[in-house]
Amino acid sequence: MKLSSKFSGFVLAFLCSSLTLAADKLSVVASFSVLGDITKELGGDKIALTTLVGPNQDSHVYSPTPFDVQTLAKSDVMVINGLSFEGWITRLEQSSGFKGLRVVASKGADIIEFNEEHHEEEHDDEEYEKNEHEKHQQSAAHKDQDEHSHGDQDPHAWHSLANIRVYINNISAALITADAANKDYYQVKRQAYLAKVDALGKRLAAKVATVPVAQRQVIISHDAFGYLGRDYHFSFLAPVGLNTQMKPSAADVALLIRQVKAQNIKALFVENVSDDRLIKQIGRETGAKLGGHLYSDALSAKNEPAATYLKMMEYNIDTLIDELQKVL
């Protein structure tokens, strides 16, 4: 029995050391892949991170698992986007009895209200005005019918590098509140990450400037890029039905084709999680070009081009601008 008691002693020592290691780290849960990546950059090896909705997964239709409930119950910090993006989070929070620190990353960010007028460029074309009117009517219908809608505010605020500075500051401040002993470490991480965001911002602004504002018109499979449009003066058109949840009617498709022709739009894009058949049909009927996939509500898998938040921002802008340059 000597061997066996030696073995249990070893197992016990091993378990104790892993428990000590885990206990040393701040336990953090992030709601989805974008926030998971940002939180990992800020928390480094001082946190044990769990991300609930992973790469290429749709946060809108997520159903929390019993494992998620257990994970959240044991966590010190929970990071969410807010703005009604994670419709399932309140129930998860309640069933887990979470007692830690809850961070709404978008708090204080510059948020797009859905009743705002986003298109301020001057167009004297009557056809354009008519299309804009129809587009807005569609947006209203889209909000009522579509599971993708999130409320009166556009939740996809992470697509703005200016907003992401707010996200970074909110998340970093929460890590420091929950784990003050590592304050200096978190502050160094925060400064380093903000510097990367600034460097990327400069590069992307220079890249976008190579295409005139009037040419920055694209069709996208659904409306998740309002912030990219605002920051970089892209005009994104994403009519009803063009998403993963709904089938558009023949009238929707006909309207979209008229819009593409009237506005002389030459580039079409789809998202990482949507069906591209309709986009292809519109391409055939209008001569607009299918420009590829953009990443909106989730990062890509590790072996794909948008595996981190910064890579996603860079990939989306590079893809948009490269395609628009081809059709200039």
Two tokens, residue 164: 């992401």
**Residues sharing a CB contact under 8 Å with residue 193, sequence separation 6 or more, in sequence order:** 38, 41, 42, 168
Q: Which residues of the chain form beta strands (DSSP E)?
A: 26-32, 47-53, 77-80, 101-104, 217-220, 235-237, 267-271, 289-294
- Decide whether 52 or 77 has the Cβ nearer to Zn ion: 52
DSSP state of 134: H
- Decide whether 47 or 313 has the Cβ nearer to Zn ion: 313
**Helix orientation angle between 183-208 and 309-327, rounded to the nearest 10 degrees:** 0
Q: List contacts with Zn ion (CB under 5 A).
A: 224, 297
Min dist CB 23 to Zn ion, Å, is 36
- Decide whether 224 or 312 has the Cβ nearer to Zn ion: 224
- Decide whether 26 or 35 has the Cβ nearer to Zn ion: 35
Residue of minimal Cβ distance to Zn ion: 297
Min dist CB 84 to Zn ion, Å, is 10
Asked whether the CA dihedral 153, 60, 291, 322 is positive or negative, the reply is positive
Is the CB of residue 198 less than 8 Å from the CB of residue 168?
Answer: no
- Decide whether 224 or 268 has the Cβ nearer to Zn ion: 224
Min dist CB 222 to Zn ion, Å, is 7
Nearest-CA neighbor of 73 among 47, 58, 45, 92?
Answer: 92
